[in-house]
A and B are shown apart, each in its own frame.
Chain A
Amino acid sequence: MALALGAQKSRFLLVGLVLVHLAVISHQVDAGGGISLLQRAVFSLLSPLQSGLSGAVRGVAAGWRGWIDLRRVHQANQRLEERVRYVETLLQERQHQAREADRLRELLALRQALPLETIAAEVVTRDGVPWFRTLTIDRGRDAGVALEAAVISPTGVLGRVIAVGPRAAKVQLLQDRESGAGVVVERSRVAGVVSGQLGFADAGPTDLVMKYVPALADVVVGDVVVTSGMDRIYPKGLVVGTVRVVGPGSGLFKEILVAPAARPDQIEEVLVVKAVEAPPVLDESVK
């Protein structure tokens, strides 16, 4: 019995010694890649566990980072939306200022070119329909605006002042049926009178009618029509419009339609000519 126990113990000892030696030897032997067999065995055993743990940790970390990033992105998005709204408002304001500056620049250029004393005014109200017959400006008697004063824009003649208050004035546009201005065809110097076609409640054409032009007069489509100065309201040489239609008319006169140069529906700033004693002579640059 004792012998059997001793033999069994020695076998266990043998197995233990063999295993220990195998471990010791494998630890010293390079299995390629600079690691020992023991290390490789340990790595092989533990690497799946390590990989799993590492993957789990990475997943949790990635999820956490994603959540944090999402919150940051959300906050950044809100900030950016506010910023965009602010910038859009600013942009609209700047664009408005730029357009206004352009208009004022044109107006200033016209004012400097005119051999007349003028008052800059801003349009404050219109008739409220596309076919404006009158408009109101923010300068009146206090600023030197007088009745019958001519009102012009950088693109052409607008009309005349028909009512004046201390700080505002009403302007009758050339498109009004009751208006009138002495004009000449710039090329052929054929004279006539233009007036509007719109009545109080009309919604008709905005072209001006050039009247009293003889049937044999030299007027063709495209001719530029300018003020003649003969009406003692509008200075001589201001652009009124362009001949759009020339017809035979009835009787002694041609039927001529003139497209007005000024666009009352787009005008925001105008120049009011101060009292004119005599029709001044305009040079070519004004025309």
Chain B
Amino acid sequence: MKALVTGLAILFALVVATAFGQLLPGLGRIVDPFLLLVVYCGLRGGETHGMMAGLAAGWVQDVHFAGPVLGLSPLTKVVVGFMVGLAGNRFLLVGLGARTIVLLAAAAADALLFQWLAAVFDVRVSDLGPLGLLWRATVNAGLGVGLFELADRRLARGGEA
């Protein structure tokens, strides 16, 4: 069931990313719905769930949006999902502030790790720069905090029902 929900969430993230790419290309390069999904899965399901979600989300993202080299996004998101899941198991990351920090860190880690891997494998990618990195992390963190609240409420309502 968890896998099915995660799969559906990945498809939704794909739709959102595609829509952003079509409608708001500038924002589409900043907002990463797959990352938000991976972070949420890591926080809710632990490191294994976070890794598997990162694996699937990353491959979907790479297949649809990446360049000639596949595998950078899944690898990045596997690591991010694991780290977030590990942090979620160790710490109580349920508050708004904690989630914001986790999202900021996850977004930054995702971007930095991606760029580092791209540099290691000599794959040409657009360099975000410190400001771009900060902007991307902030946007994704803000968006993610809101979405996570909505998802928590939705899941809580589903649990009560």
Query: A residues within 8 Å of B by Cβ?
Result: 3, 6-7, 9-10, 13-14, 17-18, 21-22, 24-26, 28-29, 31, 37
CB-CB under 8 A from A7, the residues of chain B are: 47, 86, 89
Contact B78 A21 (CB under 8 A): yes
A25 to B73, CA, bound (A): 10
Binary contact readout B73-96 vs A (1 if CB under 8 angstroms, 0 otherwise): 011001100100110010000000
B127 at the interface (CB under 8 A from A): no
Contact A14 B47 (CB under 8 A): yes
Please give me the residue from chain A that is nearest to B75 by CB atom.
Answer: A21
Contact A17 B78 (CB under 8 A): yes
- A17 and B71 in contact (CB under 8 A), knowing A25-B121, A29-B123? no
Query: B residues within 8 Å of A by Cβ?
Result: 46-48, 51, 55, 68-72, 74-75, 78-79, 82, 85-86, 89, 117, 121-123
Closest 4 CB pairs of A and B: A21-B75, A25-B71, A24-B71, A10-B48
Please give me the residue from chain B that is nearest to A23 by CB atom.
Answer: B71
Q: Can you name 14 A-B pairs with beta carbons within 8 Å?
A: A6-B46, A6-B48, A10-B46, A10-B85, A14-B78, A14-B79, A14-B82, A17-B51, A17-B55, A21-B78, A25-B69, A26-B121, A28-B69, A28-B71
A31 to B69, CA, bound (A): 13
Please give me the residue from chain A that is nearest to B121 by CB atom.
Answer: A29
CB-CB under 8 A from B78, the residues of chain A are: 14, 17-18, 21
Contact A29 B51 (CB under 8 A): no
A9 to B46, CA, bound (A): 12
One of B46, B79, B86, B117 near A25 (C-beta < 8 A): B117
CB-CB under 8 A from A24, the residues of chain B are: 70-71
A13 to B74, CA, bound (A): 14
Output the residue of A7, A24, A25 with the most chain B CB within 10 A. Answer: A25
Contact B79 A18 (CB under 8 A): yes
A197 to B78, CA, bound (A): 129
A14 to B71, CA, bound (A): 14
Contact A25 B72 (CB under 8 A): yes
Contact B51 A14 (CB under 8 A): yes
CB-CB under 8 A from B48, the residues of chain A are: 6, 9-10, 13
Distance (Å) between the CB of A16 and the closest chain B CB?
A: 10
- A25 and B47 in contact (CB under 8 A), knowing A7-B89, A10-B82, A17-B55? no
Distance (Å) between the CB of B145 and the closest chain A CB?
A: 26
- A29 and B122 in contact (CB under 8 A), knowing A14-B51, A14-B79? yes
A6 to B86, CA, bound (A): 11
Output the residue of B48, B71, B82, B89 with the most chain A CB within 10 A. Answer: B71
A24 to B67, CA, bound (A): 14
Distance (Å) between the CB of B41 and the closest chain A CB?
A: 13
- A37 and B85 in contact (CB under 8 A), knowing A10-B51, A18-B79, A24-B71? no
Contact A21 B46 (CB under 8 A): no
- A25 and B68 in contact (CB under 8 A), knowing A6-B48, A7-B47, A17-B55? no
CB-CB under 8 A from B79, the residues of chain A are: 14, 18
